[in-house]
């Protein structure tokens, strides 16, 4: 168990060195905000206002089914049978180009 604990510790030590963890989190949140703003500009509402890298737009079921063919996301609770809330998550590796492509596909 100690060897496994050390292995986990080494990973966290690298993440915390020179603020890398915070830089990665900041990028993730900024990309999520761009995605959230773009979806909002297209007239969609959200299940909740999230300041994190997770956003929860409510979209028409046919659009969600179309997007599911190209993108990986989770479906959350149905809204009214015609719309569904989906969970989109950005990461340190998410790019502005990916956000733009997703918004175009909407």
Q: What is the pLDDT along the chain (106 residues), one digit of tens a residue?
A: 566 777 777 887 877 788 888 999 999 999 999 999 999 999 999 999 899 999 999 999 999 999 999 999 999 876 677 999 999 999 999 999 999 999 999 9
pLDDT of residue 53: 96
CATH for 67: 3.90.1150.10
Distance of alpha carbon 69 from alpha carbon 50, whole angstroms: 25
The pTM for the full model equals 0.84
pLDDT of residue 17: 85
Supply the range of the domain harboring residue 66.
2-105
pLDDT of residue 12: 78
Q: What is the domain count for the chain?
A: 1
Is the separation of the CB atoms in 52 and 58 below 8 Å?
no
Distance of alpha carbon 74 from alpha carbon 26, whole angstroms: 23
pLDDT of residue 79: 66
Q: What is the DSSP letter of 18?
A: G
């Amino acid at each position: 168990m100690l060897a496994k604990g050390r292995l986990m510790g080494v990973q966290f030590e690298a993440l915390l060195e020179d603020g890398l963890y915070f830089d990665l989190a900041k990028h993730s949140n900024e990309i999520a905000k761009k995605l959230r703003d773009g979806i909002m500009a297209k007239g969609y509402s959200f299940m909740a206002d999230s300041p994190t890298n997770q956003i929860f737009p409510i979209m028409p079921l046919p659009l969600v089914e179309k997007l599911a063919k190209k993108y990986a996301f989770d479906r959350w609770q149905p809204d009214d049978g015609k719309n569904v809330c989906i969970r989109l998550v950005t990461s340190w590796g998410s790019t502005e180009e990916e956000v733009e492509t997703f918004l175009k596909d909407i």
